[in-house]
Structure 1
Amino acid sequence: MKARSIIPIQPEPGSKLLPAQRAAVRAAVDRHRETPGALLPVLHAVQDALGHVPKDAVPLIAFELNLSRAEVHGVVSFYHYFRQQPPGRHVVHLCRAEACQSVGAVALEAHAKRSLGVDYHETTPDGAITLEPVYCLGNCALGPALMIDGQLQGRVTPQRFDQLMARARVDAEASA
């Protein structure tokens, strides 16, 4: 008598996502499925909807776009823009372009990392602030520049950075 092979039941892709997350991923895929090179627009739409691209979304995106999980993961991990963890309540983008560097951005970057206690792509332990690099904010004449939640700030000194972060922390506590 021959032994039967047991085929394990595979969970449905994305089944570990919360229902709202799963719906957001499916909506992003449905919106961009027919777009040539749909993966990047889908990932941007997922991050816009959820604030990040959850690791459990990767199998669902891959399945829906007929790609391998490795292809999707490779794109998510290659581009620093895509976050794989939820961001803090405020996202701070520090400009690292040459124009800002020439007027103090390197010192501002060191100060920001030290005062927040995080590196780029990390969130403060209290969940208030995520620090991200950006390579030009188009505010070259007013460098060093940063952006907090889409609000551009120019001529940012370490002291002004501390003031902006104190205000952001107050706002984060109020919204928590």
Structure 2
Amino acid sequence: MNSPGTSVAERVRALVAAHRGDRGALLPILHRIQAEFGYVDSEVVPVLAAELNISRADVHGVITFYTDFRSEPAGRTVLKLCRAEACQSVGAERLVAHAEQVLGIKVGQTTGDGSVTLEQVFCLGNCALGPAGQLNERVQGRLTPGRLDALLTEAVNR
């Protein structure tokens, strides 16, 4: 997580300073940390707690409650599969099972080589085109196992 010339703690303190007067500053700070470093490392928890004058348990609780926050780096490719009702009704669960089998991981995990992280979401706003997924930042609709395999192969081989 270290950036050249700046310690993680210094960078986190700078992010806190940018939100010091904001009500509910923890969430925007955590989002900025994740955007900058790719995940929220456990080493930032005591720094945030001290800087925001809240308990480590409070910080940890927020990080673990919201599924948007990662506590370890994601793979080079992030696949999010929708499991909301509209997508479930057109085969999302079969698609998730297929992805887990093909990748050899469960939802919430990253492949051993760090190439793909598989995540679940509960709506991508693409309900009419379910089952839907998001590969990196691009939303995909009408996913089938074959189409998902092709998209993953293309993304991983870039």
With the shorter chain as reference, the TM-score category is over 0.9
Partner of 1:112: 99
Structure 1 CA distance for aligned equivalents of residues 130 and 18 of structure 2: 38
Structure 2 CA distance for aligned equivalents of residues 157 and 32 of structure 1: 43
Amino acid at match of 1:80: T
Deviation per CA, 1:66-117, whole angstroms, max 9, x where unpaired?
A: 1111110111112121100011111111111101111110100100111111
TM-score (norm 1): 0.84
- Unaligned stretches of 5+ in structure 1? 1-16, 172-176
Structure 2 CA distance for aligned equivalents of residues 24 and 95 of structure 1: 34
Partner of 1:121: 108
Runs ≥4 residues deviating over 4 A: none
In the TM superposition, residue 28 of structure 1 has moved relative to its aligned partner by 2.1
Q: Tell which structure's C-alpha radius of gyration is larger.
A: 1
Deviation per CA, 1:123-146, whole angstroms, max 9, x where unpaired?
A: 111101111111100001111010
Equivalent of 2:75 in 64, 88, 95: 88
Asked if the contact 1:24–1:49 (Cα under 8 Å) also holds between the matched residues in 2, the reply is no
Partner of 1:30: 17
Structure 2 CA distance for aligned equivalents of residues 164 and 24 of structure 1: 36
The more displaced of 84-93 and 30-39 is 30-39
- Unaligned stretches of 5+ in structure 2? none
In the TM superposition, residue 23 of structure 1 has moved relative to its aligned partner by 4.1
TM-score (norm 2): 0.93
Partner of 1:12: none
Structure 2 CA distance for aligned equivalents of residues 121 and 65 of structure 1: 29
- Number of residue pairs the alignment of both structures matches: 155
